[in-house]
Structure 1
Amino acid sequence: MQFRRALFGAAFGLAGAAAADPVLGTWQTEVDDGGCAHVEMRRCGEAVCGVVTRTFDAEGEYLSETLGEMLVRGMVSQGGGRYEGRVWHPANDRVYPGRTERSGDRLRLKGCVAGGLVCASQTWARVRRAV
């Protein structure tokens, strides 16, 4: 009985640790083409993905073609707040190798082409932690 209780406690602790991943939650993108978005970083299998949940223009909230789209795809933890996966760029509808790195309430997102010779990046601000 003691062993079963210890095993259950260990399994529950690991599940709690996985659910408490500090990159999970909602992040606000930098302003790009006059607007920005809220992206919810959530579990997608063993990885993390980011879905557009709100969009904003200079006058406030609006609906856009990217609402509900997955910007961040299949990011796998590399440890130390770093993730590697893919990033979708809505302006040209292409998916690029990408990575993220979280530092406190900032998430730096970077996508590259040509084997990493040409890269673009943004730093996102945390809006809300995952519950």
Structure 2
Amino acid sequence: MFRRTTMIFAAMMLTAGTAYADPIEGNWRTQSGETAAIGDCGGGYCITLKTGKHKGKGIGKVSAQGGGQYSGTITDPATDKTYSGKATLTGGSMKMRGCVLGGLICRSQTWTKQ
């Protein structure tokens, strides 16, 4: 009986990870109106545009820092320039920030969860 209970518990733990996706995962409406998909890509979360002129283009990768904070890189799809990036989740919105020169020059956008 103990062995059977242990096996059931182990199976539940293996499937529990897929049921609880990270809040950053999903589709997001960018400030310019395009849709970006964020999904687990091994060691972080990859950001890919799903609509618009640059549809299908990967535009970044971030890793969780805790407390709704993420950091990594963000790429401007129009210029292909990559910046250090941060994302901060607050409810159904996310502030994306890309910086150069150690944070001296930054641009931010607010995205909303779809």
- TM bucket (normalised to shorter chain) is 0.7 to 0.9
Return the structure number with greater strand share.
Answer: 1
In the alignment, structure 2 segments of 5+ residues that lack a partner are: none
Select the residue among 65, 78, 82 that pairs with 1:95: 82
1:106 aligns with 2:93: yes
Distance of 2:111 and 2:46 partners within structure 1? 15
1:68 aligns with 2:56: yes
| Cα separation, partners in 2 of 1:15 and 1:89, compared to 1, 3 Å | same
1:14 aligns with 2:11: no
Q: What is the TM-score when the length of structure 2 is the normalising length?
A: 0.88
Aligned to 2:29: 28
Tell me by how many angstroms 1:91 deviates: 3.2
Distance of 1:101 and 1:40 partners within structure 2? 16
Aligned length: 111
Q: What is the TM-score when the length of structure 1 is the normalising length?
A: 0.77
CA root-mean-square deviation? 1.4
Q: Which has the higher contact order (CA 8 A, sep 6+)?
A: 1
Distance of 1:97 and 1:113 partners within structure 2? 7
1:3 aligns with 2:6: yes
**One-letter code aligned to 1:67:** K
